[in-house]
Structure 1
Amino acid sequence: MRIDIGAALDATATPGVPPDALDRLDDRVARAHDRITAGMDGDEFGYAALNLPQTVDVDAITAAADAVADADTLVTVGIGGSALGAATLVDALGDDDLDYHALDNVDPAHVTRLLDRIDLSTTAVHVVSRSGTTAETLANFLVVRDAMDDAGVDWTARTLVTTGDDGPLRALADTHDLPALDAPRGVPGRFAALSTVALPAAAIAGVDVGELVAGAADGRAALAGSLEDCPAYAYGATAYALDQRGAGVNAMLPYAERLETFAEWFAQLWAESLGKDGVGQTPARALGATDQHSQLQLYRAGPRDKLVTMLRPASRPDCAIPEAELADIDYLTGGDLGALLDAEFEATAASLAASGVPTVRVEVPAVDARSVGRLLFDFEAACVLAGELYGVETFTQPAVEWGKNAARELLRGEDPLPETETHIVE
């Protein structure tokens, strides 16, 4: 992965990072790297995520996926990190012949519409819950299971589970002899894309999971004690430094349709990991070139509170633009859609730089398994580094747990919610 932070420095951007401030920050990066390395060596909670390229069992994942490899449709039943990693990998790399869906919400209209539309007899279901108690995941799975029963489909032959050592989902898998993979220990869901949480969906979708893991291993090998030597740390440190100077929004802008879901994955990773104790950047999601026509106006001319992260692959498939026979657009004739998208990328980067918006450019070789594996790992490492610099507990999510517990109590007929003033207008 290649990172260019030049347009985030104060010679171009406002706010921007002075080079001498970056030099001073590098001393903190070195100390943070020592802490991260110690956490990895001790396989500590959270830091264990950065060991996944060495600890994940690709053969076990591939074997489990083979049980439902004949699927025409794949449904991931999970929420948050238990679904976004899989969706990111399948959307980026999956076989176009596979109809993929993530049931990551309990909207009854959406769930029933999906189950009415797909052929359940050729559908594989991957249920993911580390605790095995996630209310949304279990509710959706029970609905899916019932729909399969009603359609005369043996749901036990179409279901794969990833969960912890115990809990209701593990008990269900044991009772019905379902193929079950162990959720990785010490790895929060949002850091688990390169594990049994997401890789089975990728395998079912025809992705070379060995190459994904190899790309992640490239990222692990590239970790170093200076932001000048480590792309992941360069990104994490620059984002932190810009936030400290007023860029409290981080807009992720990939220029590849297949990486749109990556922006969603990044948003959870960045928000849930760093948004604590009154600090943390707010992630925003966009897509180039689409959102040049919707959000770019705000980024360029709105409040100076944004970092724009522009992401693109160095190589793309060819798709020639036919002759137009119209004089006003003859500049398109003989061109290529990929070249046009790259021109949009460069023009947007120049536009942002001209208006002083801090911008970081991220480039991967291609949208292929090895590059995507490296991309995911590097952004996880960047997030861990940023958490060290902020001084927050990167791997916990107490605000999320509060809401989960409150929802369960409401469903049990209890009322855990504090009283709030209402002002209703109808």
Structure 2
Amino acid sequence: MKYELYFEYENKKAEKEAYDKVSNEYESGEIGYYHLPETSKKFKNIEFNTDYNEIVIIGIGGSSLGSKAIFEMTKNKYKTKKIIFLENPDPIDLYAKFKQITKPLFFVISKSGKTIETISIFKKVIKHFNLTKGSKNLKVITDSNSPLEKFATEWNLEIFNIPKNVGGRFSVLSAVGMIPLKAAGIDILQILEGAKNFRDRFFEKKEEHLLKKAAFYARNYKIYPINVLFAYATILNAFKEWYVQLFGESLGKNGKEIMPVGHIGSIDQHSFLQLLMEGMGHKTITFLKIDNFEINLKIPNINLPHLEVTDFVNGRTFEELINKECESTKEALLAKEYPIDEIIMDKLTLENIGELIMYYEILTSAIGGLLEINTYNQPGVEIGKTILRNKF
């Protein structure tokens, strides 16, 4: 993978401070996600009954977004079982998805073990699919000693624990993501290896672009309080949702924020680019692209009456079209003097997916450290939960 910064910024003091802060988190073991590439390897030996048609994940936010991001990126390239996500207590969505489920393996996932949306949907799943104590097609992923674990123990269900020092939005490389993805047939070792390789290079000071970017974002958050991720592939749609939670829940605290905005190119060029070109500015922009889609799908070399203006791409591949659209948009925004960076995946591989996840997690930690906030809590979310409880 390649990382390019298209802005000039020099602040070695801030870069060293960011490195020291994340290095201390890593070496002290205080924050657990750094070590998941090793600790999650134990899941490689777990065997699941393959006599299921679907993997069904019951979870929301950090319990589902990472798995969904990886599944959406891999489902068309690798042979996997279908994964259905039961996340939102939207009755129309739930009703439609229940009808798609034929022979499922269920995973109910909640770090706290009492997430209201998850447990409510779980109750409906139990009743609708006649699940009972000891059901072999029902697994639980939660914190040790959580209410959900206590339930699972009483029901004699298989339990996988989330490390206490791994927060939900940083948990995709833990049992939260790796167990369901392995059950779906994805080689999780390649994902973990990609994450490990990037982490090791970073702490060997071979990925200093990340520190420069973190320093720029943190030291200029009042000027540039919004980061736009422009991801140029439909299969990156769920990844941008994961990124939005990661940045939003981690970096919006104590009156400080870097607001994440996720878009898909080239679709959102037709809905958001106008604002970027002629709006107020004050945003950083990250382009994420796949250099080689590995599918040689060509635009036919045919001429249609009255549509000759489009013939300049005839005979070209769709890969060329989408990537040149990315380049053109980037050049247009550089001309507007936006601080821009670019992440280029040479091609879509499980190792690259693992690297991308670890890159964003370390970037988030580095920015949070420089902003002098607690990157890993979410007190603002808890208030809304209390208000909800009082409404019933």
Instruction: Note the 1:74-153 alignment, pairs <5 A.
Output: 74-94=55-75, 95=78, 98-115=81-98, 117-120=99-102, 122-149=103-130
- Work out the CA distance in 1 between the residues paired with 2:375 and 2:101: 41
Distance 1:153 1:39 in 2: 42
Name which of 299, 308, 315 aligns with 1:334.
315
Spell out structure 1 runs of 4+ moving beyond 4 A: 152-155
Structure 1 residue 69 and structure 2 residue 53: aligned?
Answer: no
Aligned partners of 2:67, 2:367: CA distance in 1, in Å? Answer: 24
**Cα displacement (A) at 1:272:** 0.6
CA RMSD of aligned residues (A): 2.1
Pair 1:232–1:71, CA change in 2 (3 A): farther
Q: Which residue of 2 aligns with 1:50?
A: 34
For 1:155 and 1:87, the matched residues in 2 are separated by 27
Does 1:168 pair with 2:168? Answer: no
Which residue identity is paired with 1:54? E
Q: Percent identity?
A: 27
Aligned to 2:210: 232
Bigger shift: 369-378 or 30-39? 30-39
Query: How far apart, CA to CA, are the structure 1 residues paired with 2:216 and 2:292?
Result: 26
| Distance across 1 between alignment mates of 2:134 and 2:83 | 18
Change (3 A) 1:242 1:69: farther
The one-letter code matched in structure 2 to 1:201 is P
1:296 is displaced (CA, Å) by 0.8
1:278 corresponds to which residue? Answer: 255
User: Aligned partners of 1:51, 1:407: CA distance in 2, in Å?
Assistant: 35
Q: Does 1:215 align with 2:194?
A: yes
Alpha-carbon spacing, 1:369–1:112, altered in 2? closer, same or farther (3 Å): same
Amino acid at match of 1:33: Y
User: Is there any run of 5+ residues in structure 2 with no aligned partner, and where?
Assistant: none
Residue 195 of structure 1: aligned partner: 174
Deviation per residue, 1:203-248 (Å, 9 max, x gap): 233221000000000111122486x84343333223324424x111
Q: Which residue of 1 aligns with 2:135?
A: 156
Determine if the alignment matches structure 1 residue 258 to structure 2 residue 235: yes
2:184 alignment counterpart: 205
Q: Which amino acid aligns with 1:3?
A: Y
Alignment-mate amino acid for residue 55 of structure 1: T
Contact 1:34 1:225 in 2 (8 A): no
Q: Name the CA distance, whole Å, in 2 between partners of 1:266 and 1:178.
A: 32
- In structure 1, the residue matched to 2:274 is 297
Map 1:28-43 to 2 at 5 A.
Answer: 28-43=14-29
Deviation at 1:113, TM superposition (A): 2.6
- Structure 2 CA distance for aligned equivalents of residues 262 and 308 of structure 1: 16
Normalised by the length of structure 2, the TM-score is 0.92
- The answer (yes or no) to whether the contact 1:299–1:357 under 8 Å persists in 2 is no
- Check if 1:399 corresponds to 2:380: yes
Residue 260 of structure 1 and its aligned partner are, at CA, apart by: 1.2
Aligned to 1:324: 302
SS of aligned partner of 1:213? helix
Task: Tell me the CA shift for residue 401 of structure 1.
Answer: 1.5
- How many residue pairs align between the two structures? 386
* 1:285 Cα deviation after fit: 1.3
> Does the CA-based 8 Å contact 1:387-1:393 persist in structure 2?
yes
- 1:323 Cα deviation (Å)? 2.3
Distance 1:155 1:360 in 2: 51
Once residues 313 and 26 of structure 1 are traced to their aligned partners in structure 2, the CA distance between those partners, rounded to angstroms, is: 31
Give the whole-Å Cα distance in 2 for the aligned partners of 1:235 and 1:131.
33
Normalized against structure 1, the TM-score is what?
0.85
Compared CA separation, residues 206 and 321, structure 1 to 2 (3 A) = farther
CA distance in 2: counterparts of 1:205 and 1:55, whole angstroms = 20
Sort the Cα spacing of 1:235 and 1:110 in 2 relative to 1 into closer, same or farther, 3 A.
same
Task: Give me the whole-angstrom Cα distance separating, in 1, the residues matched to 2:225 and 2:204.
Answer: 26
